[in-house]
Amino acid sequence: MLAVFFLHFRPPPRPFMSQALNIHTAPLGVVNAALTVFYVAEGAQPSGYGQTLWSATGLDWSQSIAASGFTGKQGQTMDVLLPGGKRQLILGSGSSSANTSLTSWTDRGGSLMAKLAATRATDIAVVVDEPSATPAALAELAAGLRLRRYKFDKYKTARADDAVGSITVTLLVTDPEAVDRAIAGRAATVEGTLLARDLINEPANALGTLEFVERTRELEKLGVSVEVLEQDELEKLGMGAMLCVAKGSARPPRLVIMQWHGGRDGDQPLAFVGKGVVFDTGGISIKPAGNMEDMKGDMGGAAAVTGLIHTLASRKAPVNAIGVIGLVENMPSATAVRPGDIVKAMSGTTIEVINTDAEGRLVLADALWYTQDRFKPRFMINLATLTGAIIVALGHEHAGLFSNNDELAIQLLNAGLNANEKLWRMPLSPAYDKLIESKFADIRNSVGRPAGSITAAQFLQRFVNEIPWAHLDIAGTAFGASNRETNTSWAPGFGVALLDRLVRDYYEG
C-alpha cells in the first residue's frame, strides 16, 4: 500500500550553495518529474489535471485526508510517496477567494518555494490550471519563486550536505506561450530587485563608494550611460552639503548619473534620486553601538535607484529615465564635519549642521538640486533610509510618502498597492517648514524629535523648486523588515517593483 504522510513544515534547511532556479512551462499532460505538485481548495477535492494525477495513485481521497488532517487550508500539505521514487505534494490553496489579487500570487510563489526547498527535490512539476491562473497571475507566481529562492550566502562556508544544486520547476499550464511572455515581462523587475538586495546586503568593507560605482558601471552593458562625478568636480559645482558628510571618511564621495534613453529625443526624463551612505556611524553625533552594523544598509535608496535603472534598461522601457545617487561614508575623525558647522549647498542655501547623524538630507540636498537644474525632469522622486521617526510612525509595513504634487502622490500610492510595496502619505505644510529655520544660517539640518520625518521632508523640499516631487522615506522597509513570503533575506529590495509599476502604469505608451 502507498504511504501517505501529512508533513508539518519546519524551517527550510541552511542556504543552498547554488541559488540557480530554472523555471519552464509546459502544457498539461504526462508528468515525468520526481516531484509533482498540485493545489486543492479548502473543503474541496482535486479538480482539473490534479484530479487526473490523484486518480492515478489509486488512493481514496476521503481516507487520505482523514488520515493526514488535510483540509485544503492555505499552507497545508499532504505528501504522497509513490512507487519508483516518485512523489506527489498536495498543497492547500485556501478559499476560492484567496487568490484574487496579483500580489497574492506573488506571495503564493514565495510560499511554494519554501515548501519545495524543504523537500530538497530538484526536478519539480507544478500544476496550476485553476480559472484564476491567468498569464499575469502565473508571472507573479514565478516572480515569487525567484524572489524567495534568493539567499545572500556568498560569505558562508557551506557544508557538503548543503549542496543541493540547481532546481528546475516546470509549471504545467493551459497556455504555455502566453505564460512565457508574461514571465519574461516580469523578469526584469525581479532581477532589478535582486540587484538592490545584493547591494544592501553587502558588508561595508566590501561595498564602499568606489565599489558601488563599479557596480553601476555594469549597467552600461544594458545600454545605460553612466557618468561619475569625482570630488574635484563636486567641489567646482559647490556641493558643500554632500561634501561635508564625506569629510570624516577616507573613502571619497561620488555622484553617479545613470541615464536610460528609451523614449523619444527631447522627451522630459523621469528622475530618480537615491541616498547612498555606504556606512553611517552618525559621524561626530555618533550612533549607539547596538545594531550599528545595520547601517551598511543606509544606501538602500541608492540601491533601489540602481535596481530600477537596471530594470528599465533590461526590459527596454520606452521612457527616458535618470538615476542619480550620492555616494558617501559618514565617519567620525579629526576632519569630520562638526555640530554647529555651517555649509553652503549647491543651490546657495546655507545650512547649519545641528546633528551630523542627519546626514542623508545633506547628500540629497545637492543631488536633488543638481538633478532638477541639469535635467529639468518631468518629475523627481527620491528614496532614502532617512529617519527613524518614520519607523515610529509606520513600522515596517509602509514607507512614508511626502509630495508637493497630488497627482504624483496618488500614482505612487496606487503603484505601491499593485506592487505590494505600500506607501502612506504624510503631510507637508508651511507650519512645519518654519521649524527648520536656523538662527545662524538659512536652515538647519535637524530640529529634534517632534515630526522628525516631516521636517526632514520639508528640508528636502527646499531643493526641488516647482518640479513635481516625491520623497519616499524607506527607513522601515529597506532592510531589517519582517520577512515576507517572498523574502527571507535581510534586505527585500524595496522600491524597485514600486517604481517600475509607476512607470509601466502611468508613463509608458
pLDDT in tens, 21-68: 999 999 998 778 999 999 999 999 999 999 999 999 999 999 999 999
Q: Which of 251, 315, 361, 501 is catalytic?
A: 361
Q: Report pLDDT for 448.
A: 87
Average pLDDT over residues 234-261: 98
CA 7 – CA 212 distance, rounded (Å):
44
List 171's β-bridge partners, or say none. 25, 126
CA 380 – CA 390 distance, rounded (Å):
21
Domains within the chain, CATH numbers bracketed: 4-174 (3.40.220.10), 189-506 (3.40.630.10)
Average pLDDT over residues 342-359: 98
Do 393 and 426 touch, CB atoms closer than 8 A?
A: yes
Residue 482 reports pLDDT greater than 70: no
Q: Which of 287, 338, 422, 425 is catalytic?
A: 287
Q: Which pairing describes strands 379-384 and 469-473: parallel, antiparallel, or unpaired?
A: parallel
User: Taking Cα atoms as reference points, which of 260, 274, 276 lies closest to residue 319?
Assistant: 260
Q: Active-site residue 462, yes or no?
A: no
* Whole-number average pLDDT of the chain: 92
The residue type of 200 is: I
Q: Report pLDDT for 19.
A: 63
Q: Report pLDDT for 244.
A: 98
162 pLDDT band (50/70/90 cuts)? low
CA 383 – CA 180 distance, rounded (Å):
32
Most distant CA atoms of the chain, gap in Å: 85
Average pLDDT over residues 293-301: 98
The residue type of 108 is: R
pLDDT in tens, 82-98: 888 889 999 999 886 65
Q: Report pLDDT for 97.
A: 62
pTM strictly above 0.85: yes
Q: Which pairing describes strands 35-40 and 123-127: parallel, antiparallel, or unpaired?
A: parallel
| Residue 136 CB partners (closer than 8 Å, separation 6+) | 102, 182
User: Taking Cα atoms as reference points, which of 75, 99, 110 lies closest to residue 89?
Assistant: 75
Do 143 and 106 touch, CB atoms closer than 8 A?
A: yes
CA 72 – CA 41 distance, rounded (Å):
5
Do 324 and 422 touch, CB atoms closer than 8 A?
A: no
C-alpha dist (Å) from residue 337 to 288, 300, 331, 458: 19, 23, 9, 22
**Rounded (10°) CA dihedral 217, 219, 224, 227:** -20
Q: Active-site residue 287, yes or no?
A: yes
C-alpha dist (Å) from residue 493 to 191, 196, 283, 414, 496: 10, 5, 26, 19, 7
Residue 323 reports pLDDT greater than 90: yes
Residue 1 reports pLDDT greater than 50: no
483 pLDDT band (50/70/90 cuts)? low
Place of cell 508533513: 7
8-state DSSP, 434: G
